Amino acid sequence: MKEYKVLGEKDTRSGFGEGLLEAGRENKNVVALCADLTPSVRMDLFQKEFPERFVEVGIAESNMISIASGMAIAGKVPFVGSFAAFSTGRTYDQIRQSVAYSDTNVKIAGSHAGITLGEDGATHQILEDLGLMKMLPNMVVINPCDHTQAKQATIASARYNGPVYIRYGRPKVPVFLTEDTPFEIGKALILNEGKDVTIVATGHLVWPALQAAEELEKEGISAEVINIHTIKPLDNEAILTSVKKTGCVVACEEHMYNGGLADSIAQLLVRNSPAPMEYIGIDDQFGESGKPMELMAKYGLDKEHIIAASKKVISRK
């Protein structure tokens, strides 16, 4: 199995902040708008260096989307930032009409997403944002796995012409990819090759998937691990090629079963090459207040549950 070293622990929201700053230096048309959460969503780096290109909208998320859409029509590349619960849920009508339907070049950043938001509890732990954004025509949906990939994804989004939603998290998680790791929107990363089971993971579940593969190897089970950083457009070829080889798949995400990555994979397999499949995700329920990693374990989003799901799906072949 390919070995990945932990290079440190950083939050993916900080990768976004660094990527946004880099994108701003690269393109003078990149602008940023925030809804009264500038330090929390790490837009302060951009604000400090480019104050004339930064707009503090205040607690007016829907208005922020409308302003950004107008700026995009005028030739700017606007990034809007807030907690994912607000930047997608509170603003869905404006995103649907003024961004997706109008196909404007707006980049929507959703920080503090998922159960790992922790103590803030269910009202802020959005678990349906990927589905909300995925269902909108024209929308690209990205969910990076670590700090490095978050930075890469942000820079790539600035270069991409069209609507993009990028999801980030608050907790510090292992950094295991390097600046040399390739990143291309819509192109999956095969992190480990295997022949017995395909483990497809996104976001914070990629590192536990690699840990699970390492444990499975000790038991003689060869797991292929695929990092799906782009939920839409999905890398259909990478998934179908892998599942054709292994004969089964486990999909891992910090998101509802409904509407997330697993749903996309299930649809892909049903239409092309049906195979046994197991889900690692949230089963139709809200989150709760607690420590991030304790919540991940309670809701079955850890390596132990990925190992169990892998063994179960192999037995169904």
Catalytic annotation, residues: 61
Amino acid letter, residue 83: F
Q: What sign does the CA torsion over 61, 53, 232, 295 have?
A: negative
Nearest Cα to 43, choosing from 57, 30, 33? 33
Alpha carbon distance 252, 228 (integer Å): 10
**How does DSSP classify residue 171?**
S
Is the peptide bond between 233 and the residue preceding it cis, with omega within 30 degrees of 0? yes
Q: Which two tokens stand for residue 238?
A: 């990478």
- Residue 213 backbone zone (phi > 0: left; psi -120 to 50: alpha; other: beta): alpha
**Strand residue runs (E) in 36-106:** 54-56, 77-83
